[in-house]
Chains A and B, each alone.
Chain A
Amino acid sequence: MDPTARCTGCGRPRAECDGCARELDPPRFCPTCGTRLAVVVTPAGYRGRCREHGPVVTGRS
């Protein structure tokens, strides 16, 4: 389990993508397994949940 294995912008392995999320886009893919996250964006923050790995990303605006 490597929580930096995947690009959170596209879900591909780090070897294939070194990070492609646009500025002001929240993470959309699990950094561990690369599946799409259920992301909740609120006025002051965001949180992303992986079906396998639970709540994996949080942040502010």
Chain B
Amino acid sequence: MEQVTFTPRRGRVEAIEPLDADEARRAIHAAEAALLDERRMLDGDELATLARVPDESVPALAALAHQVRLAWCGPQVEVEGILSAKTGGCPEDCHFCSQSSAFDTPVKATPFLDTDEVLAAAQETAALGASEFCIVLAIKGPDERTMQRILELVPIVKERTGLNVAVSAGILSEDQARRLAEGGVHRYNHNLETARSHFSRIVTTHTWDERADTCALVRRYGMELCCGVLLGMGETTEQRVELLLQLREVDPAEVPVNFLNPRPGTPLGDMPLTEPLEAIRWIALCRLALPSVILRYAGGREVTLRDLQALGMTSGINALIVGNYLTTLGRSPEEDLQMLADLRMPVGALSAAI
């Protein structure tokens, strides 16, 4: 396999000239007029300009993103739990992932959990006040046996917990997308992860276009598309803006925002964490680029944002994954629920049809 060599960068993307304070103020005002008064989307140039506001202006950018979220989505915050129901041993080589069999990582492959285990995890999720439960499988795409397991689990989980059930099982064929939709899958997760122009440095076993194809199938068959990003993999500012515009094209209902949590043994294991204020900048830009999506706090937020986690909630985020992630742990659900209560943000299900 091709070895990637990453020039170590600091946890922020530089090389672009920041705006001065006046330019930044004007750019933020112009974005406010567009998104709140005219109710129109920003174009690529406007987003690229906003990406260049200086650090001092990031809180103002974030404040606008919060206003945009309230105006386009309302005050509700959606809470979701996720479960890795089949862990490790994945034939793909996503260079950030501890579950790829291409890398020697501490994650041991484990087979598909049985129904009782999945159900118990869903019940834990319901007890935390969540409305959505996502069953995640570390596979390239489902084989027939896996399809049957998913189609058997979804109605059981739904019926026994009342939760909406989401699935993440890799690349789908047209027929598989149709069957999952008919089988009651509420949302299907398939991340773009990174910009098309950066993708081949991160994954060599499948293409960005294959990912976009599955995203299109998910929507065609009437499931809500959950399509996330993973920031901090050495992409440039331009590539982040590119990614935002590409996300718009696949038109997801939900966008989980992940920050790279470098995993030992993976090619990206030595990458630096994204700096907290840089993470806030890009959360805000995600909201300004995608005003109506469900923008979800996902993996890496604890280690990346540290004490700025509450700030993300007023920078455009309106959903979060509660509790643990797939192979790593989250902070305690009580802390997140307390944070939402302190911010006076009501918890409830959000929908693409808002």
A contact residues vs B (CB 8 Å cutoff): 9-11, 22-26, 28-29, 36-46, 60-61
Give the one of B83, B107, B120, B303 with max A CB within 10 A. B107
Closest beta carbon of chain A to B127's beta carbon, Å = 8
A54 to B: closest C-beta gap in Å: 15
Q: Which residues of B contact A9 (CB under 8 A)?
A: 106
- Evaluate contact between B83 and A43: CB separation under 8 angstroms: yes
Q: How many residues of B contact A (CB 8 A)?
A: 33
Interface check B128, CB cutoff 8 A: yes
A42 lies within 8 A of B124 (CB): yes
CB-nearest residue of chain B relative to A25? B328
Q: Besides A43-B333, A61-B329, 8 other CB < 8 A contacts?
A: A24-B330, A28-B107, A39-B87, A39-B108, A41-B326, A41-B328, A43-B322, A43-B323
Chain A: CB-nearest residue to B325: A41
- A6 CB, min distance to chain B CBs, angstroms: 13
State the CA gap A10–B104 with chains docked (Å). Answer: 12
Give chain A residues whose Cβ lies under 8 Å from the Cβ of B232.
Answer: none
Q: A36 and B108: CB pair below 8 A? A: yes
Nearest residue in B to A23 (C-beta to C-beta)? B303
1/0 contact trace for B94-118 toward A, CB 8 Å? Answer: 0000000000001110100100010
Give which listed residue, A11, A25, A29, A38, contacts B329 with CB less than 8 A: A25
Query: Which of chain B's residues have a CB closer than 8 A to the CB of A29?
Result: 106
CB B296 to nearest CB in A, in angstroms, measures 14
Closest to A27 in B: B106
Beta-carbon nearest neighbor of A35 in chain B: B108
B71 to chain A, nearest CB (A): 31
Bound CA span A28–B265, Å = 13
